[in-house]
Amino acid sequence: MLKMILPMILLLPTITLCKSKQLWPTALTHSFWIALLSLQWFKPSSELTAFFNCYLGVDQISAPFLILSCWLTPMMILAGQNNLTMEPTSRKRTFILITISLQVLLMLAFSTTELIMFFIAFESTLLPTLVIITRWGSQMERLTAGTYFLFYTLIGSLPLLVALLTTQTYTGTLSIYMLQLSPSPHTMYPWTQTMWWLALFTAFMIKMPLYGLHLWLPKAHVEAPIAGSMILAAVLLKLGGYGIIRMMMTLTPPLKMPSYPFMMLALWGMIMTGLICLRQTDLKSLIAYSSVSHMGLIIAAMLTLTEWACTGAITLMIAHGLTSSMLFCLANTNYERTNSRTLLLARNMQLLLPLMGLWWLLASLTNMALPPTINLMGELTIIVSLFNWSIITILMTGLATLLTATYTLYMLITTQWGETPSYMKTIPPTHTREHLLMMFHILPITLLMVKPELIQGI
């Protein structure tokens, strides 16, 4: 682990000291080599967990998330390059430094074996993300979006901190592996146990986000630059899912009843956000709401507390991270050429940018969970596990799947076909950088179809 974290940390002084002409090549080359080195975590270990010291370790659950966060760093730098072309070197350098700092914090969050260290890293990711949204966002509403993002996260974090300190008081440890051998943190009253469980999961439900606690997400996505949208959709939402899986494995909830309201909100939220997507006029907002719908399916699965459901949840989280990041990159290519995110103002792009139309088709089919993509494997596993938990859930999951296909096709048809607006007769052509970015997204999605067990946490 240290041979991955230390090069990433040492990249900070490298970027600070290198010349302006070497800034982008240096950042891209180093971060891409680190991403390639991270693929070694896919190699199965003879032990269930590979401990590097008493605080850091990697197992089958954390390895896919670590590799995803490492793989996304060079793509964030590549995607944000065009937005910063006209800015001074100091701001370019600051952007790359913040991106690398965020990557280091994410690696610590996914690899730590102590819950209090996970909490610190989990909350520390707030600051770099907030700077990216508020400093490089394109609209004035970015300040409102940053405020929503800040206060939603902080309000959910306080109960989590109290719950972790209470657990430390009762068990004497916050090690993920020692807590599995410890007695239940609360032996007093059922009501106390229920409140402790709710406090423990509030921050993760907001981070995912759960429907009803999701208002910060569309604002943050719409106002963030492309790099901010990519890291939010691909990795930061998955911090909540990773936290729920870790807590479920480590601290069994005292009763089944506390999870029922969350389950109902998640299942109902899938349908509601699917309907909201159908009436969106903003392309980035549509993709953001589709993330809320997918996260609702993942939350419902994890609350069933079955191994089958957790396997499907991890698979879908990795698949959604790559797919949604690719969709945001595609939306950004339209925005850079039309200066508008409105769907009706960027029609018939397939005629103007034919190769980009192929990337749109592949991303849309993956988002719809077309066979044999890993998205389908994750969704089918989750739907089957929910059906075993309660037969009536097939109505909600089936309707949500239908809505997902509907709004994805609506997005594809609106952007790629139709009558070309009169002001769009000439637009800049696509660049090699953009096609390379799409290829880096679609390549892991394609390769994981051959060996999906790499990301299934088993």
The pLDDT value given to residue 218: 87
Q: In angstroms, rounded to a whole number, what is the distance separating the alpha carbons of residues 355 and 430?
A: 9
Q: What is the mean pLDDT of the chain?
A: 86
The pLDDT value given to residue 436: 92
Residue 25 lies in a domain: no
The pLDDT value given to residue 247: 85
Residue 222 lies in a domain: no
The pLDDT value given to residue 352: 81
In contact, 250 and 184? CB cutoff 8 Å: no
The pLDDT value given to residue 49: 61
For 434, the domain range is 256-458
The pLDDT value given to residue 94: 92
Residue 138 lies in a domain: no
Q: In angstroms, rounded to a whole number, what is the distance separating the alpha carbons of residues 450 and 456?
A: 13
Q: In angstroms, rounded to a whole number, what is the distance separating the alpha carbons of residues 442 and 362?
A: 8
Task: Count structural domains, the chain.
Answer: 1
Exposed / middle / buried, residue 117 (Cβ in 10 Å: 0-12, 13-18, 19+) = middle
DSSP 294-357: HHHHHHHHHTT--HHHHHHHHHHHHHHHHHHHHHHHHHHHHHHHHS--BGGGS--HHHHSHHHH
The pLDDT value given to residue 55: 79
Residue 151 lies in a domain: no
Residue 333 lies in a domain: yes
Q: Which residues in 306-328 are b (16+ Cβ under 10 Å) and which e? A: eebbbbbbbbbbbbbbbbbbbbb
pLDDT tens by residue, 100-128: 999 999 999 999 988 999 999 999 999 99
The pLDDT value given to residue 399: 94
Residue 293 lies in a domain: yes
The pLDDT value given to residue 183: 63
Residue 453 lies in a domain: yes
Q: What residues in the chain have per-residue pLDDT under 70?
A: 44-53, 183-189, 252-258, 457-458
List the structure tokens of 313.
């949840």
The pLDDT value given to residue 43: 76
The pLDDT value given to residue 374: 92
Residue 43 lies in a domain: no
Q: In angstroms, rounded to a whole number, what is the distance separating the alpha carbons of residues 240 and 251?
A: 16
CA distances from 162 to 53, 326, 424 (A): 27, 37, 55
Residue 122's φ and ψ, nearest 5 degrees, are: -60, -45
In contact, 233 and 324? CB cutoff 8 Å: yes
The pLDDT value given to residue 246: 87
pLDDT tens by residue, 189-222: 677 777 888 888 888 999 888 888 888 888 888 8
